[in-house]
Amino acid sequence: MYIFTPADGQTWGLTYAGLEALLRPRNPAEFIRIDEGTHGPVTGTSTDFGITLDDEPMEGMALLEPEGVTVKDVTARSAAAFALWLHESVVPAGSTMVFNTEWGVEDGFPDTPVPDAPRPRIAAVFRAHLVNAGDLD
């Protein structure tokens, strides 16, 4: 699982309704589910969604607290496509997006800025993270 968040001290102003408004027009048949929770600082504890990029279906989740968006069970190349979509569609201009993975968080790896670069370079950064996290040999 790749985890994308704003850099420390920043916010994307993420809302579940705002994310839904960005996802829904892409493909109205893809799923978006907002879990209406009664716990936590905001209404709705998470949003689960499906998105298709470059003909590859992906599933993800968004949280408002802590603010961020994840994508699950994807290759570094697909995660890079998702990061570019986030950068273009969700992340406000001038904001920095950082990433980690589930393995990186478990091993105490720090968040790493997603480079402002083409997809192959972003995918290379993601693959290097996986190697350092011990997920790839």
- Report whether the peptide linkage leading into residue 66 is cis, meaning its omega lies within 30 degrees of zero: yes
Residue 72 resides in a domain: yes
Residue among 92, 93, 132 nearest 112 (CA): 132
- Neighbouring CB atoms inside 10 A of 67's CB total 15
- Neighbouring CB atoms inside 10 A of 34's CB total 17
What is the average pLDDT score of the chain?
88
CA distance 17 to 35: 12
Structural domain boundaries, residue 91:
2-132
> What local confidence, expressed as pLDDT, does residue 23 receive?
86
- Neighbouring CB atoms inside 10 A of 109's CB total 14
Residue 137 resides in a domain: no
Residue 67 resides in a domain: yes
Residue 93 resides in a domain: yes
Q: Across residues 98-115, what is the average pLDDT?
A: 93
- Report whether the peptide linkage leading into residue 110 is cis, meaning its omega lies within 30 degrees of zero: no
- Which secondary structure element, helix H or strand E, spans residue 36, and what is its range? none
Q: Is residue 43 very low, low, confident or very high in pLDDT (cuts 50, 70, 90)?
A: low
Residue 119 resides in a domain: yes
**Does the pLDDT at position 42 exceed 80?**
no
**Does the pLDDT at position 21 exceed 50?**
yes
- One-letter amino acid for residue 44 of the chain: G
Residue 27 resides in a domain: yes
Of 137 and 83, the structure prediction assigns the larger pLDDT to: 83
Evaluate whether 40 touches 129 at the Cβ level (below 8 Å).
no
Residue 88 resides in a domain: yes
Q: What's the number of domains the chain is made of? A: 1
> What local confidence, expressed as pLDDT, does residue 136 receive?
55
Residue 56 resides in a domain: yes
